[in-house]
Structure 1
Amino acid sequence: MKSTAPTWLMPVVAIFALQTASAFLSRLIPIVAPAIAEEFGWNGSSIGYLSASNALGGLVFLVAGSSLLRQIGGTRMLQLLLILGAACMGFFLYPSMGIALAVCCVMGMSNGAANPAGSEVLQRFSPPGMRNLMFSIKQAGVPLGGMMAGLFVPVVIALAGWRFSLFVFAFLVLLPTVLTWKLSAVLDETSKVEKRSGSWMPTMQSLRIFVAPLTSITQDRGLLKMSIVGSLFAVPQSCWFAFTVIYLVDGLGFSLSLAGVVFAVMQLGGVFGRIALGWISDYLRSSTATLSIAALFSAVTTVLLGLTTPEWPLWSIIVLALISGCTTASWNGVHIAEVARRSPPNLIAETSAGAAILVSVVNIVAPTVFAILVATTGRYDIAFLCVGVCALLVLVILPRDRR
């Protein structure tokens, strides 16, 4: 008898590949930016603003694109945004901070589409007993994309220069997009009513599109709390992603290549951490317990990062980055699955987008405030301490369910 693959395998693989490409597109910004800034004469704090602009792009899509995603389909929408982001990388060649900020914003739109698109697909295809694991596997594509950026980007820049490297990076983004292009016809579930009515056009009646995602997460107290928890987790995650490389280079005297390796180790921890936390959550049948553990380790590792000095041995910083990746960068899958579980079945795309909007706002604000703190105090340790406190607040906000 001929064996067949489980029905969830193809959706998970396709969404995982697109999630990885989207993460790579965003994570390469804080790694390639130091080389661009050095040539164009931009200061180090510009990296924080570029990262914030990238998060703004994700927020723009989450606020305005949920209806368009429902009409086109999650997989197809994500593929189109990856193509757009790859095409925009060529504009980095112009020595203009304004153009760079606009480019980062456009590149971030795929990151905004990844969560609601993937959640909508996996919620339909994932077996109930494996849902946390399936969502965590999807989210493991985020640190995998970051790990690829940390290892690959500095090497290509060193060998070919950052200008030619942009075209190599664009190819890497387009490759999984092309390979999964035909699968959207199988995976996507689109709204024919909205297609016929043309509700994507900006009219007064369509104003609800902008508030629907945020309104949807207020319908249940536990859902709202879980959404706020995601925004608190986003504070340390966004600051680790935006400032690890520049902190290691400017604060500890690392080379760009060595800092990229540490960044890649952190992302590697995220790959295993997201899958491990998803498995633990399903095993314990408690997302709250799993997220509490992640919050504690996230706070400790973030504070310790701020206390590092050039005298610390390299292995200790690598271990710190690995542990942080397993926790600070690994909460997403469990959190997204819990948001989807608490959502009404017909509002999963909206509630996922609403929770992701809060995360995206923090991804804009946190790196900006962090950069301002460092610029005004001249100290990274104070900024990292404040970030660690935000992680501890998760323990206060988490909803306490009996089940």
Structure 2
Amino acid sequence: MNRLLVALSAMFLQQTFVALGRALPAVIAPAMIADLMLDSAWIGVYFSIVAAAALMTQLGCGNFIVRYGAMRMSQAALVLLAIGTAFAAIGTPFFLVLSALLAGGGASVSTPASSHLLGRCSPPKYMPLIFSIKQTAVPAGLLIAGFVGPSLTEWSNWRYTMLISALSCVIFSLMLQPLVKHFDDDRIATRKFHFSDFGTTLRSVLGTRDLRNLAFSCFAFNAVQTIFTIYFVVYLTTIGYTMVAAGFLFSLVVVIAVPGRIVWGLLGSGYIQPRIMMATLALGMVISMVLLGLSSGGWPTIVIGIIATVISATALSWHGVLLAEAARAAPEGSRGGVTGGVLSFGQIGALTAPIIFALLLGISNSYGLGFIVCSIPALLVALVLLRQRQGSTLGK
């Protein structure tokens, strides 16, 4: 039990720093856009590059986790994110692209590494709960970003804010060093990386119906999560909110994702079939995103806050249930690789959704249309999961 608690604490903090670093450009985007004289659609392009880098990294990270260990790869993720975040502070187009590549590719290793480590330490029955607790680190990081990012940016400037985030990632990566020897005792130093690993990971995910459904679910859910995360604050500033007020509201609604992930994980650990749980969350995403798309500057803040809270409770809270099912369906010793493969489909959602949103924004000058269109895959997921027979892994 002590080993599990230490592993869970380390992975929770690791993913908190990663979530903070990855979300920061979104919550301080208004300041970056104004300073660099960029179009609002730029933020979608930036995060599409992040997702593209994450896609390639997650497809090939399995063997690196096996060879170097989950804790060592967690350190590597933090350091690469720190370098990418620091490059963004330079502010030129070249370094912004380089920032997106390094931050996206580096940070994307954090979840497969933590899944590999916790999959070894967690009792199978309680995996949804353990993984959900660990994944509450993501809304925790978003919450910190929303509270601290805009305020720190107004106090100084956005470049200083990015550099502070980079430094915090480096410091915590050093704090993980004493745990490497204790938790990376399963690493296989002779394991080599091959480009065929990309194909092997894809085949392992697409080879079974359960993992295919999880991959499609991850695609749809991550698309909604990404659009909400990167455009909600910017959208609010276009309808009359200040950046600090928008960041505060964002942080306020993100809080619900912390207990939300734990509750969904607890229910998915034996009370409700994970398949039904994920279908319900998908329907919640669709309804709330459509309502956000229909909202306007004349709507009361409390109404927009309630809508965003539902989005937070669904689109920001599905991870523990889905990741636990992926780890449960993965062959022994391949949890990191299979989890990375499933998450890579999520990165495809995170890659394509901002591009579609940016195109719709350019054509219609409407944020609402983008919010609605990017929720359509989640509706399809709900229909697929509800029609799926109960005899599969997702139904157990």
Give the TM bin, normalised by the shorter chain: over 0.9
Q: What is the aligned counterpart of 2:188 among 178, 185, 191?
A: 191
Distance 2:116 2:314 in 1: 25
CA contact (8 A) 1:78 1:113 kept: yes
* Aligned counterpart, 1:401: 390
Secondary structure at the counterpart of residue 44 of structure 1: coil
Q: Residue 335 in 1 paired to residue 322 in 2?
A: yes
Distance 1:350 1:164, change over 3 A: closer
Distance 2:82 2:111 in 1: 19
Distance 1:348 1:95, change over 3 A: closer
Residue-by-residue CA offset, 1:261-287 (whole Å, 9 max, x unaligned): 122123212212111110111141510
Distance 1:320 1:135 in 2: 26
Q: What is the aligned counterpart of 2:374 among 387, 391, 394?
A: 387
Distance 2:11 2:159 in 1: 30
* Counterpart mapping for 1:60-99 below 5 A: 60-99=56-95
Q: Which runs of 4+ in 1 moved over 4 A?
A: none
Q: CA deviation at 1:32?
A: 2.4
Q: CA deviation at 1:13?
A: 0.5
Q: CA deviation at 1:235?
A: 1.7
Q: What is the aligned counterpart of 1:136 among 109, 132, 135?
A: 132
Q: CA deviation at 1:340?
A: 1.1
Q: CA deviation at 1:396?
A: 2.3
Q: CA deviation at 1:34?
A: 2.3
Distance 1:62 1:375, change over 3 A: same
Which amino acid letter does the alignment assign opposite residue 390 of structure 2?
Answer: D
* Aligned counterpart, 1:248: 236
Q: CA deviation at 1:214?
A: 0.8
* Counterpart mapping for 1:271-282 below 5 A: 271-282=258-269
* Aligned counterpart, 2:202: 214
CA contact (8 A) 1:19 1:114 kept: yes
Higher alpha-carbon deviation: 330-339 or 68-77? 68-77
Residue-by-residue CA offset, 1:188-247 (whole Å, 9 max, x unaligned): 2211332xxxx23xxxxx221221211111232222122211111112111101111111
Distance 2:25 2:56 in 1: 18
Distance 1:178 1:192 in 2: 22
Q: What is the aligned counterpart of 1:236 among 217, 220, 224?
A: 224
Distance 2:84 2:218 in 1: 29
Q: What is the aligned counterpart of 1:35 among 31, 34, 44?
A: 31
CA contact (8 A) 1:265 1:321 kept: no
* Counterpart mapping for 1:158-307 below 5 A: 158-188=154-184, 189-194=186-191, 199-200=192-193, 206-250=194-238, 252-307=239-294
Residue-by-residue CA offset, 1:35-69 (whole Å, 9 max, x unaligned): 12211111111011111112222113113332222
Distance 1:135 1:164 in 2: 33
Report the RMSD for the aligned CA atoms in angstroms: 1.6
Residue-by-residue CA offset, 1:354-403 (whole Å, 9 max, x unaligned): 10111111111111111111111112222222123221111222243233
Distance 1:167 1:220 in 2: 44
Distance 1:381 1:165 in 2: 30
CA contact (8 A) 1:305 1:384 kept: yes
Q: Structure 1 length normalisation: TM-score?
A: 0.92
CA contact (8 A) 1:59 1:360 kept: yes
Q: Structure 2 length normalisation: TM-score?
A: 0.94
Higher alpha-carbon deviation: 352-361 or 167-176? 167-176
* Counterpart mapping for 1:321-400 below 5 A: 321-398=308-385, 399-400=388-389
CA contact (8 A) 1:288 1:400 kept: no
CA contact (8 A) 2:220 2:375 kept: no
Query: Matched residue pairs, number?
Result: 389
Distance 1:168 1:52 in 2: 24
CA contact (8 A) 2:279 2:383 kept: no
* Aligned counterpart, 2:118: 122
Which amino acid letter does the alignment assign opposite residue 165 of structure 2?
Answer: F
* Counterpart mapping for 1:44-63 below 5 A: 44-63=40-59
CA contact (8 A) 2:68 2:189 kept: no
Distance 1:395 1:93 in 2: 40
Which amino acid letter does the alignment assign opposite residue 267 of structure 2?
Answer: I
Distance 1:84 1:235 in 2: 24
* Aligned counterpart, 1:203: none
Higher alpha-carbon deviation: 272-281 or 55-64? 55-64
Secondary structure at the counterpart of residue 8 of structure 1: helix
CA contact (8 A) 1:269 1:324 kept: no
**Structure 1, unaligned runs of 5 or more:** 201-205
Secondary structure at the counterpart of residue 195 of structure 2: helix
Higher alpha-carbon deviation: 342-351 or 366-375? 342-351
Higher alpha-carbon deviation: 228-237 or 92-101? 92-101
**Structure 2, unaligned runs of 5 or more:** none
Which amino acid letter does the alignment assign opposite residue 128 of structure 2?
Answer: N
Secondary structure at the counterpart of residue 187 of structure 2: coil
